[in-house]
A and B are shown apart, each in its own frame.
Chain A
Amino acid sequence: MPIVPTDDEIVAAVQSGREQDYCLLVERYQGRLVRLIERMIQDRDEAMSLAQDTFIAVFRALPRYRPEGRFAPLLFRAGKNLTLNWLKRHRRVTLFSRLGQGDERTPCQIADERPGPEQELTQARRNARLDAALRRLPDNQRLALILKVYLEFSYERIGDITGWRTPKIESLIFRARKNLIGWLAQEPAGPDVVSQEMEE
């Protein structure tokens, strides 16, 4: 095996019985996978757990894998599916628990209404506001934006992972950005993030 084996070479080794070689793929992709999931669900521990589940699920699917250089899309697609399922379950539970308390706000609205004193416009607070705005995005928009901005995948690669066509990806990212800019500009507590950034 060469010094830096390709994904397909590692998969071939795993398929031939060298299962321990799978750790090379885990090491190669764990950072980006956790980053994607963490950005989607905004929970570090859950993201680590979901990333583990993703690696296990993909490992079990390897006997059916054909070496066409598609390991990364396969992995991220599996991660995306598990993440979206987690979001659906989590949102349902949160909504029911809130409704049980007579509170009919949706989880997104709850997250968006975090109060904060105007004087605490620190970097941490800006991140929190941005996170809240990201949470408000529809899952598809958030996923497309994260794959582009945080993982720096091309539209084509995003299409491989999500199964979406380029015009749809372009539109989702565009609408995500437009929403974020709009929401951050409407922040009631103090000057908006964009204005703050302009002053810097």
Chain B
Amino acid sequence: MKCRTMERRLSRWLDGECPPREAEAIRAHLEGCEGCRAQWNALLRLDRQLRREPPAASRPVDLTCQVMSRLTDRPRPRVRFIPLVAAYAALFLLVFGLTWIVLPGPATPPVAIAASEPEPVLFTALLAESGRLHLRGVEASTLEALGGDR
């Protein structure tokens, strides 16, 4: 066992977390190593000092009443803003919709539906004009007149 690794082992040993075999090896090392023994003593002194309770810590603690009273004084569930707005909006729409359906609306003049003429159907025709080819939209009658195929 080397001194370099002892510091960490000593801390673990102090915490009672060393397996028996390792603890035995540490003990054997300490017997023959003054430097590591000094480290061990420093660790022990620090531990002793840490475990001395300051006066405040020795005062008894009793939180039972406070905790239990806080548990019984539970806050009421808060009404969330967004659901409230949504509820009002739904109510408004319901009332408005019912009014629209039940009440007769203002008399409106009948709308005359004009008979619309059918839109002319256009075909794309490949025309040869003065030695050049053109693509043009032509009506069916024109296409027939030109002797083209649909």
Interface residues of A (CB under 8 A from B): 19-20, 22-23, 26-27, 30-31, 34-35, 38-39, 44, 48, 51-52, 55-56, 59, 123, 126-127, 130-131, 145, 148-150, 154-155, 170-171, 173-174, 177-178, 180-181, 184, 193-194, 197-198
CB under 8 Å from chain A, chain B span 66-106: 66-68, 70-71
Residue among A38, A145, A181 making CB contact with B43, cutoff 8 Å = A181
Inter-chain contact total with CB atoms closer than 8 Å: 90
Question: What would 5 A/B residue contacts be, using CB atoms closer than 8 Å?
Answer: A59-B67, A130-B50, A150-B50, A177-B43, A197-B48
A193 close to B7 (CB less than 8 A)? no
**Nearest CB to that of A184 among chain B residues?**
B46
Q: How far is the CB of B62 from chain A (nearest CB, A)?
A: 7
Q: A22-B68, A26-B68 are in contact. Are A34 and B49 (CB under 8 A)?
A: no
Q: How far is the CB of A6 from chain B (nearest CB, A)?
A: 19
Residues of chain B within 8 A (CB-CB) of A149 are 47, 50-51
Q: How far is the CB of B120 from chain A (nearest CB, A)?
A: 74
Residues of chain A within 8 A (CB-CB) of B15 are 148, 155, 170, 173
Q: How far is the CB of A31 from chain B (nearest CB, A)?
A: 5
Q: Known contacts A26-B68, A35-B57; can you find 9 more A-B pairs with CB under 8 A?
A: A38-B56, A52-B67, A55-B63, A59-B71, A148-B15, A170-B11, A174-B12, A184-B46, A198-B41
Q: How far is the CA of A23 from the CA of B71 in the complex (A)?
A: 10
Residues of chain A within 8 A (CB-CB) of B56 are 38, 44
**Nearest CB to that of A14 among chain B residues?**
B71
For B, the interface residue count at a CB cutoff of 8 angstroms equals 31
Interface residues of B (CB under 8 A from A): 7-8, 11-12, 15, 17, 41-43, 45-52, 54, 56-57, 59-64, 66-68, 70-71
A197 close to B11 (CB less than 8 A)? no
Residues of chain A within 8 A (CB-CB) of B71 are 19, 22, 56, 59
Q: How far is the CB of A37 from chain B (nearest CB, A)?
A: 11
A170 close to B17 (CB less than 8 A)? yes
Q: How far is the CB of A65 from chain B (nearest CB, A)?
A: 15
A52 close to B49 (CB less than 8 A)? no
A51 close to B63 (CB less than 8 A)? yes
B63 close to A197 (CB less than 8 A)? no
Q: How far is the CA of A26 from the CA of B69 in the complex (A)?
A: 12
Q: A44-B56, A170-B17 are in contact. Are A26 and B67 (CB under 8 A)?
A: yes
Residue among B11, B42, B64 making CB contact with A23, cutoff 8 Å = B64
Residue among B8, B62, B63, B64 making CB contact with A170, cutoff 8 Å = B8
